[in-house]
A and B are shown apart, each in its own frame.
Chain A
Amino acid sequence: MKPRFWLALMALMGATPSMARAQPVVLSEAPLSSSVTVYRDDNRQQGRFNIGWLRGYALISEKRRISLPAGEAVVRFEGVADGMIAVSAVVTGLPGGVEEKNRDARLLSPASLLDGSLGNRVHIRRTDRVTGRTSETDAILRSGPDDGVVLETPDGVEALRCSGLPERLVYDGVPEGLSARPSFSIHTRSPQATEVEVTLTYLATGFDWGASYVATIAEDGRTLDLFAWLTVANGNGNGATFPSAHLLAVAGKPSRTSDFDALVARGSSPMLRLSCWPMGSTSTGGAPPAPPPPPPPAPMAAAAPMELAVTARRMDKAMYDAVAVQEDLGDLKLYRVPVPVDVVPNGQKQVAMIQRENVPFTTFYAGRLEPGDPGDASRPLVRTLRMQNKEQDGLGLPLPSGGLAVMRQRGGDELLLADTAMKDRAIGEKVEIAAGFSDQVRLTQTLLRDGDKEKRYRLVLSNATAGKAAAEIALPRLDGYDLKAMGMKDKDGGKAWLVAVPAHGEARLEIVYRRQ
């Protein structure tokens, strides 16, 4: 009896209008080859990224081979990245073009299973706690999943899980249109049955990259070796495996105006709530025991800031077989990893991108007059390394932003001097790297006079090191005042006091701001 009913129902479902128009579905399970171009999160600081919280994105381009039947067909693409931004997807190479693109996000979950079976026949299976025997009854779902489940059984109307008996629902099948993950498909119309190679290109979130610089200062303190890793991370879970992919990275700041997170929207999975009638008893004083709240969604893997291990290079220089190649992409810089690499889910990968040796640099101590500060305590100055990003100065290449570890050779060893960051630097620009505070070279600022006509400051630089210390103290402009001091120089669009402080010595300057 029972099978006949199901056969009848199936036959009926097959005859529904939507099914009658159904087109053949072609599944494309995995790409033949892929290319991943990673873009930085331009809202984060220049330094390193946090692999538990990747806010950059990638342009993924996949080549796939599909067999198309003649006429209309639906092509469903599987194995795409979780963070796919479906509205950005472009499919090329189809003989009949793309008629429409669809992203479906009705996900299979306990709640959607119940919702999709509403009004249909399910089975309720009860287990006897004593004997372990189960009994099964047919039931029709009459309500759910928002506020408890009401069933209609041959006995009458009952509520699920209100009796205190172990009972569960058994379904005969998954309602149509529910899938494990959001799916992406297109409609196309091919003039004849054919096998074609198509390219699927889309943006996806959950990636980031940064340059990871290591500057190693030679023992003489005059040159440094600048090395950079191209560090790429893929925070996508399942479905973002790209074996033997072309890996590229883009430096610069392409504008981003749409809300990528909202566009990815991983599909809603409503909660299944099983509530019952009030359950107060004489011992609880009437307060109904609330059903246990649904467990909160699993928190993001604790975003432990992941320290980037800087592998100490031995004195014999490390060799790199693959160094990323740089080219211009419009007003951006594109880095191409010359060998195919595997881009795997939840993985970080590093490839050498910049390698320059014996770059001359100068060191100076940077500070600034603070006109608003009446105090006269001494302040440490910022040890700064300066290079010129020019060919004749050992560089002359675009320097994308990233974290920077400054190392100093000491005998056969290397010591970390500073953990800092590099900003985007174009060719021809000067590169100044703040490498920590120096307690040995300090600036004392004293306000000598604060009158109607003028403000007068004395600056004293003190040097406790055994060598000469070059200092550059910025002197800011004040509205309505003229700045007067001996031997001021122009620096960075403002005025500055540039001086070499002798070893174990001092340098002094008086500065007057005269009201106009």
Chain B
Amino acid sequence: MPLHFTTAAMSALALLGMGLTGGAAAQTTDAGAPSAQGDVSVTIYNDNLALVQDVRQLNIANGISRIEFPDVSAQIRPETLSFSAPGAAIIEQNFDYDLLSPSKLMEKAVGQVVTIVRTNPATGAETREQAKVLAVNGGVVLQIGSRIEVLRDDGLPVRVIFDKVPANLRARPTLSVRVNSDRAGTRPASIRYLTPGLGWSADYVALFDAGKGTVDVQGWVTLTNDSGTTYSNANTLLVAGSVGQNAQPSYNRRMISPRPAPSRTLVSPGTETSGREQLGDFYLYPLAARTTIASNQTKQVSFLDVQGVPAQAGYEYANGWLASSDEAQSANSVVRFSTSASGGLGDALPAGTIRFYQRDASGSPQFTGENQLDHTPMGSQLSLSTGKAFDVKVQPVVEQRQKLSDTRWRTTMRYELTNARPDAVTIDLVQQGLDFAWADTRVAAESLKSERRNADAVVWHVPVPANGRTTVTATFETRY
């Protein structure tokens, strides 16, 4: 039984006009008609890639036959298709993308006879003639009887009617296999392929309560389907992690750095293992129920809901080397919490956007900033900047630069930290750029004990009283 109408069958039905039977209509495979998909499973990776498995009940004839697969992803990577059905051996797999269009139709008619219908512009009367298409090169040259004419040379209306749609021209790209079956009959056949156009990330809603020092976090996985196809009633599995796609030819492939970028929000990576299912190093997030992922749809499903995680607000200001400012600059507001099982969220977090909300005086949650989260192992310490503080500011000033010798310089820095809030705050003041090129910088003197974070940066934890100010001075010595 053919999966599609054959052209002849279609023409016959069309000519019969009303003779369509229910069984035949059920086989059209486009919108408004049932999908040809069977039992679909979709595994979606973060980086715009999905593995689709589809088990269809196919009636395969005995011997050699050709099977088409409608309703696969419109962006399928056809070379990744694998097909298996009991008792059927594959001879070849084909992906045909010669698409039907008016010009293709005319080009394929070269040497063949078509019907032309002329309409008399004065009376509207129609005359029909048989014409042979001689050539289609910039224009259409016809032979009508013994005359040679160019189609619509006089600009008058001429309908061209072709007998049939040429073989191998299709409305959409078509995937097919040729198989040799040892028996006839319906059996489950499974196809599996990779497709771009499906991706997912996480979106978090974090309601921060500064008074109680807690944060409530809801996590949603966000699926996007731009693959051009609807996956009906699919068993969906999300994989948190990146599978390298270096080999994939793509026009809009993002630059892939040779090593992953270091995380800016992860203070210390965790060492705990979440109770979630893992595959290799990837965490798996299966959706609880089957779902239909419609074309052009963004779907969100909840995966995390944790209340009352301890969290602290803080401030951070990072100054570049020799950066000086003639007015105070806002410090970053930072929210810190842990993903540990004890005193934290207690889960591994897939990468995504985390949006912070705080309640206003009337109790309504208001948006207070967002940040990006990397894939975060359980047990990590997170420090997420939510924006710039209106009332907490830092003015860095280069007081003096002294040349001690040809290879030694002394830099005197002053930092004015101000706090217009009615409560005391602590600002993490970071001076960066201590390790550039061949230079080597150390702190010679300072008004407050610093902590050398790494070769490049020192940090002071500076307490600033309510509605007050604190000054930090430091002298750096640099050797070249």
Residues of B within 8 A of A119 (CB): 28-30, 33, 171
Q: Which residue of B lies closest to A428 (CB)?
A: B420
A288 and B138 CA atoms in complex are apart in Å by 6
Q: Which residue of B lies closest to A494 (CB)?
A: B326
A493/B324 in contact, CB under 8 A: yes
A150/B102 in contact, CB under 8 A: yes
Residues of A within 8 A of B119 (CB): 128, 165
B30/A278 in contact, CB under 8 A: no
B370/A255 in contact, CB under 8 A: yes
A5 and B25 CA atoms in complex are apart in Å by 10
Q: Is A241 an interface residue (CB 8 A)?
A: no
Q: A106-B295, A150-B165 are in contact. Are A398 and B390 (CB under 8 A)?
A: yes
Residues of B within 8 A of A286 (CB): 137-139
A153/B299 in contact, CB under 8 A: no
A374 and B367 CA atoms in complex are apart in Å by 51
Q: Is A219 an interface residue (CB 8 A)?
A: no
Residues of B within 8 A of A97 (CB): 302
Closest chain-A Cβ to B220's Cβ sits at a distance in Å of 7
A78 and B124 CA atoms in complex are apart in Å by 49
Closest chain-B Cβ to A266's Cβ sits at a distance in Å of 11
**Range of interface residues on A (Cβ < 8 Å):** 35 or more
Residues of A within 8 A of B35 (CB): 18
Q: What is the interface size of chain B, counting residues whose CB is below 8 A from a CB of the partner?
A: 125
A132 and B328 CA atoms in complex are apart in Å by 77
Contacting residue for A331 out of B21, B100, B164, B390, CB 8 A: B390
Q: Is B80 an interface residue (CB 8 A)?
A: no
Q: A5-B20, A8-B25, A330-B358 are in contact. Are A140 and B10 (CB under 8 A)?
A: yes
How many A-B pairs with Cβ below 8 Å? Answer: 355
Closest chain-A Cβ to B109's Cβ sits at a distance in Å of 9
A254/B403 in contact, CB under 8 A: no
Q: Which residue of A lies closest to B335 (CB)?
A: A330
Closest chain-B Cβ to A451's Cβ sits at a distance in Å of 17
**A interface residues (Cβ-Cβ under 8 A, vs B):** 1-2, 4-5, 8-9, 11-13, 16-18, 21, 35, 37, 39, 59, 61, 86-88, 90, 97-106, 115-120, 128-131, 133, 138-144, 146-150, 152-160, 162-165, 173, 175-177, 201, 203, 248, 250-258, 267-268, 275-284, 286-288, 327-334, 336, 398, 424, 426-429, 474, 477, 479-480, 492-494, 516
**B interface residues (Cβ-Cβ under 8 A, vs A):** 10-11, 14-15, 17-18, 20-22, 25-26, 28-35, 99-103, 105-107, 115, 117, 119, 121-124, 136-140, 150-153, 155-165, 169, 171-172, 203, 205, 208, 210, 218, 220, 222, 230, 232-233, 289, 291-292, 294-302, 313, 324-328, 330, 332-333, 353, 355, 358, 360-362, 364-372, 385-393, 395, 397-398, 400-403, 414, 416, 418, 420-421, 467
The 4 closest A-B pairs by CB, nearest first: A280-B139, A254-B369, A493-B397, A159-B102
- A255-B385, A330-B313, A516-B402 are known contacts; what are 16 more A-B pairs with Cβ within 8 Å? A12-B25, A99-B302, A101-B299, A119-B33, A119-B171, A120-B33, A152-B165, A156-B163, A177-B295, A252-B389, A255-B369, A277-B140, A281-B155, A288-B139, A336-B360, A494-B397
